[in-house]
Amino acid sequence: MKFYITTPIYYVNSEPHVGSAYTTIIADIIARYKRMMNYKVFFLTGTDEHGQKVFQAARAAGKDPQQFCDELAQKFEQLWEKLQITNDGFIRTTDPKHMAVVQYFVKKMLENGDVYKGVYQGWYCVPCESYWSEEELGPNHTCPSCGREVRFIEEENYFFRLSKYRDALLEHYRKHPEFVQPDFRRNEMIKILESGLKDLSITRTTFSWGVPMPDDPKHVIYVWVDALINYVSAIGYPTDPERFNEYWPADLHLIGKEINRFHSIIWPAMLMSVGLPLPKTVFAHGWLTVDGQKISKSLGNAIDPKYFVDKYGNDVLRFYLVREIVFGKDGDFSEKGLVNRLNSDLANDYGNLLHRTLAMLEKHFASSIPEPGPFEQEDESFVQQVLDKVERYLAQMDSYQLTDAIETVMAILTLANKYFDERKPWLLAKQGEMKKLGTVLYNVCETVKKVAIMFYPIMPNSSLEVLRRLGEETQPNAQHLRQWRTLRSGQKIIHGAPLFQKVELKSEQKVPQETVASQVQLLDINEFRKVDLRVAKVLSAERIKGSEKLLRLTIDLGELGTRQIVAGIAKYYEPEQLVGKCIVVVANLKPAKLMGVESQGMLLAAHDNDQVKLIIVDGGAAPGSKIS
């Protein structure tokens, strides 16, 4: 059996952060699970290196685009290595082999009558590399995906007859409900299809950093068309049909929800155009957020995953991301949440069970797995409940319900801890009931072994350590999940330090953020002019219930009226200190919600080590005055 899984390929306009690492970690968990279940897996990830956004980032860094891409692609590969990602392939869209496949693919679409030349007039978002119709734009002509300003462009383009495939796509959705997951993401795509599709501009002529259009090199192929084709170019299309046919169609495209339309509408239509089978499932997961906002370089809240790996270990980070954040939905990331999961789930429920069981084996059975005696009703009931939950775990993992699967494993640990406490092995030892004691300790060890196997895709290092301590010398064997008495009586165990050490987080620590391309990014003056900086007078200030960081400010912006903004300055200023002060705010920022409270702008402050100082305007400038 084969299993082909992909992540999106990541833009190299900036360094990777924990948001991009999340998708790759999830893909790695699924790939490890499938390998454990004896699938022949091909796991692909990589970098998206063409397009206007990458070209502009390279220029701002003062580097040749290829040099810029080479440096950042290496940083992605280095991070995946540190996170112990087991990808089988790493594709770069600047690879000449990939670029040749892109030209072949587009030429085939052209020969099939699905590509024609025309003039594009409309709106384009450079950061998202996305075209939008007038009806799709957000407030003040902003991108509906990222909220930033769009540009009206008019240029000669080649177009893909996307509209031609509307009915075929709807029929595919009807016949294959598993095609897009979760269900609510599939419903979003169906609504788009039902409202009708417009043909898609697939080339640009205003810059040259990309794959040239076949037979018309003044046109550069649209970066999203280029990027999507990586899923077939990486496995040998069209030059290695044997390898390609072994893995295609993809079993799972794992993506973030913001690029669902590209993967669930545009990509399958492109595949239909050239006559290739469609992927089996596109899974569009939610965003990681910090204080309710998507993790983003532009928002300044990008978190470096290496910090957490170095401080808590790779296994703990992986466990937290799947346990805390319901797979498929948005979830908030915090160090406090990670430490809570480490202390309660891992140190208490998992590590402590292993530790006290092995301590009793060391004391009463010469550090060996005991021979279990006759099972009593409590033992039989416990074993059956564990085996039932194992079946539930397998079904949940097979259907990508990763968070539910972890909850099932944690339920097994809860069951085992309860069984241990109710059977009172310390009392059995005192009473000399060695056969009963051997039964209890054997059943707990067998359960912990199954937990280690089930946790292996998520926490590979600790799982191998648990198996080592139980005297198991082989890799995790999924066949042992459905069997009992897989541990050999008499094999030696190793009792050591607790598997997970508890951590005391004395205060909310500031997590270091990554640098962007390791140097200052230069702004064009026209870009800077888009930021509307104004003087604002603080009319009132109050703490937001449930938050130690946030204050709600009501501000006067003169002719722009009054607004409220939410700022994370509660640790540095008392509310009454702020009333009457004239501060500097960004007045044209898209509204965002923090702790459920809408913020209609952002104040400016200086960060000096652990201190935050507001930028105060001297001289009594009138509220609403522009700053330039």
Which residue ranges are tagged as binding site for Zn(2+)?
125, 128, 143, 146
User: Rounded to whole angstroms, what are the CA distances from 546 to 294, 505, 554, 595, 597?
Assistant: 20, 19, 19, 8, 12
Report yes or no: 460 and 29 within 8 Å, Cβ to Cβ: no
User: Rounded to whole angstroms, what are the CA distances from 418 to 200, 287, 382, 413?
Assistant: 59, 36, 10, 8
Chain center to CA of 527: 30
Cα 391–394–398 angle (5° rounding)? 140
**Binding site as annotated, residues:** 125, 128, 143, 146
How far is the C-alpha of 123 from the C-alpha of 145, rounded, in Å? 13
Give me the numbers of helices (H) and strands (E) for the chain, helices first please: 22, 27
- Token look-up 């097979």 returns 398
SS3 491: coil
Closest by CA position to 227, among listed 70, 50, 5: 50
* Long-range contact pairs involving 478-482 (C-beta distance under 8 Å, separation at least 24): 478/36, 478/37, 478/38, 478/453, 480/449, 480/450, 480/453, 481/390, 481/393, 481/394, 481/450, 481/453, 481/454, 482/387, 482/390, 482/391
How far is the C-alpha of 100 from the C-alpha of 224, rounded, in Å? 16
SS3 232: helix
* Virtual torsion, Cα 472, 478, 484, 489, nearest 10 deg: -10
* Residues 6 or more apart in contact with residue 253 via CB below 8 angstroms: 6, 231, 263, 267, 279, 281, 282, 283
